[in-house]
Structure 1
Amino acid sequence: MTVIAGPADSVLRPYRIPADGLYEGPRVLRRTPDGWEDRPYELFEVVPQAATIGAEIRGLDLSRPVSAALRAELNRALLEWKVLFFRGQHLTSGAQREFARNWGELETNPLLAAGDAGDVVRFDKAAGGVPTFENVWHTDVTFRERPALGAVLQLREVPPAGGDTMWADMAAAYDNLAPEIKERIDGARAVHDYLPGFARFYSTAQLAPFQGEFPPVEHPVVRRHPETGRRMLFVNASFTTRIVGLEEAESDRLLRLLYQQAQVPEFQVRFRWRAGDIAFWDNRATQHYAVNDYAPHRRVAERVAIAGDRPY
């Protein structure tokens, strides 16, 4: 929005705020939807890490079987906090997979390096390696018709400093859009494609075989959470290429404005890893950013993703 001092103003010189700048002022910080019932947790301790997103879960050993009651409480915590942190778990790949399976079928990703099973992705960043899949806000695999429900990430090897991961609450990001922007994107759809996100690191020969498996798909710009009903911004800089029905310049300008919402600190949580830590996030409701600031040290992580539903 552009603001210009009126000609009748005899005190201040004329001024303007450039259009599409980030909003400056108080934020609306709702952790849960209107009408949500806050209830105490009985099976573990929840330690909030930020206003609307991120909580450390204490008092659990994730290598042990998850009962129906525990699964229900953890799922409620995931819906309320969007990303859950578990310190010092040191799970085997098998135990990590078994924990994730409590939320559904596991997803494979042929574009990423596998660990000791096809549904385990391994990120091994050796000293001096190419900084792939880092330093960009994104939601995982939105180029799929059914993007991942969530992911369980464990750090196997942690650099002495740096290598944090950040998450952003995309419901808060939507809540704080200007009314005129909400009106523009209500009912809008956007195209998502794997090529922009992977072409930065992979050759044409590596990417070409997957064009048939992953054609461009359309998703709503604003999706509703299938469990809470909350509206969330659902575009990201890695995979969203254009808004359907808009001219290229207009689409690019609007997408840049929407991408900026993930960068607001009040909507974020930042996690400093230790070896054996686990993060479990709701991929439907968040974006994340892996910070590549740890050279020349090594960072090794393994991720298991849970298959999701079609956004609406």
Structure 2
Amino acid sequence: MSVLTRNYRDSSIHFQKDVDSKSSDGILTVSKNDLKRLNYPQWAPTWDPKDDHAFENIKPFKHIDRGLFGDEEFKSLRNVENTEFKHVTPKLGLEITGLQLSELTDKQKDDLALLVEKFGVIAFRNQNFKNLEFDEIKKIGEYYGPLHVHPTSGAPLNHPEFHMTFRRGDSKEYQREFSDKLNSIGWHSDVTYENQTPGITFFTMLQTGESGGDTQFLDMFEVYDRLSPLMKKKLEGLKVVHTSKEQANAAKQEGGIERKDPVESIHPLVRYHPVLKKKFLFAHRGFSRRILGLKSEESDNLLLFLFKHTQSCLDAHVRMSWDENTVVVWDNRRVLHTRTLDWDSTDIRHAFRVTTIAERPVGSLEEYESWTPELEEENLKLKDYYLSLSAGEYYEKVIKNN
């Protein structure tokens, strides 16, 4: 087993057979005691057996990023009466009050996309977002791209497009979390095992305690820019395998469901952002497992160096604090994030995520401009072949002649 393999027993998103329950009609959900304590019971996490393998991984499509249509001065947002923008740090993070996400025009939505991409992550305070109907929230998300259906997490009944996170009101939850590890930090970008990975994400708090549970974010532009020119040159063109297999196996072991088959994808280690026209490091402990063309020890050590470098860049990170009327929106390409489990009370933490699918990760402007769904379909036919090659074979058959 690789030293990079991660334990995916994540009780915040997965069904837990030892503490959760099954309804009379066979729907898996959280315990009856937790259900009684929900402020928003319609958002209770469920794992519906009818959804097991009912979905397919998304087919290649041409993504049009709404940030390309945004105004770099953000006048449609800044000029709204009583709106305030507060920088969290000079480069990363904003807090905004006075804007309602539920009331934005299409022009404002375009500006929002560019604003999120430019600052990485934005906390919107005093929102009514969670009080909208399910379909209204989906429509807002769909403006930015198709909605991702998570393969294993809880979702409101009959609405698999929502990804739920749920910290149970169980005094033993904290002890279970730290029973075999020293901290709860797990830097990642969501579902990067997909062939086309997320862009804009909306994360909305439904219920939480007075403090704690901050979400932390890391700027991967800055992480990449800190590397030496020689290291950047060495990393250019390398490909990394991202996998959902461990996450899927963990869900099955806990008695949950798989909405679709596990998937592995090959992505550039250094990725190009098509709106901001900058490069950034695109690998993390969550799903990145090996670099093609390197032997296992070489791949492990290079990835471990990059992960250690990433985790050490706490001068390129922000913490976003939560209350029950906050929505945080981020660019899943540019930033990594991690939960922070820093409370041991019986407070419930209940939230939902809407994630939109963006472009297929690429390493350059030229690759972005030449990409088509038809070419991608042909490339996908070679994926298993590339994955089967040894380090020497990959060099001879893929690298040497390019």
**Normalization by structure 1: what TM-score?**
0.80
1:277 aligns with 2:326: yes
| Residue 120 (structure 1) aligned to one of 162, 165, 177 | 162
Cα distance between partner residues in 2 of 1:159 and 1:206: 29
Write the distance in 1 (CA, Å) between the matches of 2:100 and 2:361. 32
Match of residue 128 from structure 2: 90
Q: 1:197: Cα distance to partner?
A: 4.5
User: RMSD in angstroms over aligned alpha carbons?
Assistant: 2.4
Which residue of 1 is the match for residue 277 of structure 2? Answer: 229
CA distance in 2, matches of 1:40, 1:112: 35
Q: Which of 103, 108, 116 is the aligned partner of 2:144?
A: 103
Matched, 1:79 2:129: no
Contact 2:97 2:126 in 1 (8 A): no
Secondary structure of 1:190's aligned partner: strand
* Partner Cα separation in structure 2 for residue 120 and residue 207 of structure 1: 16
**Which one of 143, 167, 175 corresponds to residue 193 of structure 2?**
143
Q: CA deviation at 1:290?
A: 0.6
How do residues 99-248 of structure 1 correspond to structure 2 at under 5 angstroms?
A: 99-116=140-157, 117-128=159-170, 129=173, 131=177, 135-197=185-247, 199=249, 201-204=250-253, 213-248=261-296
Q: Which has the higher helix share?
A: 2
Following superposition of structure 1 onto structure 2, how do residues 41-60 of structure 1 map, counting pairs within 5 Å?
Answer: 41-44=75-78, 45-60=84-99
CA distance in 1, matches of 2:98, 2:254: 48
Please list the CA deviations of residues 252-290 of structure 1 after superposition, one character each: whole Å capped at 9, or x if unmatched.
111111112332112111011011200111001110011
Read off the aligned partner of 1:110 and give its amino acid letter: P
Displacement after TM superposition at 1:88 (Å): 1.9
Counterpart-to-counterpart distance in 1, 2:177 and 2:254: 20
Structure of higher RCO (CA pairs closer than 8 Å, 6+ residues apart): 1
One-letter code of the match for 2:91? T
- Bigger CA drift: 87-96 or 71-80? 87-96
Counterpart for residue 73 of structure 2: 39
1:70 equivalent in alignment to 2:108: yes
- In structure 2, do the counterparts of structure 1 residues 240 and 41 end up closer, same or farther at CA, with 3 Å as the change threshold? same
Distance across 1 between alignment mates of 2:88 and 2:225: 20
Deviation at 1:51, TM superposition (A): 2.5
8 A contact 2:187–2:337 mirrored in 1:
yes
> What secondary structure, in the 3-state scheme, does the structure 2 residue paired with 1:137 have?
coil
Deviation at 1:147, TM superposition (A): 1.1
TM-score, structure 2 as length reference = 0.63
Gaps in structure 2 of 5+ consecutive residues: 1-70, 79-83, 179-183, 363-402
Deviations 1:157-203 (A, max 9, x none): 1122210001111111110112332122110000010134555x434
* Distance (whole Å) between structure 1 residues aligned to residue 315 and residue 90 of structure 2: 7
1:127 is displaced (CA, Å) by 2.7
Show the 5 A alignment for 1:257-272. Answer: 257-263=305-311, 264-272=313-321
Cα separation, 2, equivalents of 1:235 and 1:261: 12
Whether the aligned pair in 2 keeps the contact of 1:196 and 1:238 (CA below 8 Å) is no
Which of 246-255 and 86-95 deviates more? 86-95
Structure 1 contact 164–290 (Cα < 8 Å) conserved: yes
CA distance in 1, matches of 2:143, 2:309: 31
> Is 1:249 matched with 2:283?
no
Q: CA 1:136–1:198 in structure 2 vs 1: closer, same or farther (change >3 Å)?
A: farther
User: Partners of 2:348 and 2:256 in 1: how far apart?
Assistant: 26
After superposing on structure 2, the runs of 4+ consecutive aligned residues of structure 1 that deviate more than 6 Å are: none
Q: 1:38, CA displacement in angstroms?
A: 5.9
Matches of 1:188 and 1:151, distance apart in 2: 27
Contact 2:152 2:251 in 1 (8 A): no
One of 267, 289, 294 as aligned partner of 2:338: 289
- Post-superposition Cα deviations, 1:130-171, rounded to whole Å, max 9, x if no partner, equal 659x63000000111011112100111112221000111111
1:125 and 1:42, CA in 2 relative to 1: closer, same or farther beyond 3 A? same
Find the aligned partners of 2:85 and 2:254 in 1 and give their Cα distance: 47
Query: Within 1, Cα distance between the matches of 2:257 and 2:270?
Result: 30
Letter in 1 for 2:88: Q
Once the two structures are superposed, residues 20-59 of structure 1 have per-residue CA deviations (whole angstroms, 9 ceiling, x without a partner) of xxxxxxxxxxxxxxxxx96364423432111211111222
- Unaligned runs of 5+ residues in structure 1 are 1-36
Determine helix, strand or coil for the equivalent of 1:202: helix
Task: For 1:79, give the aligned amino acid.
Answer: E
Equivalent residue pairs, number? 272
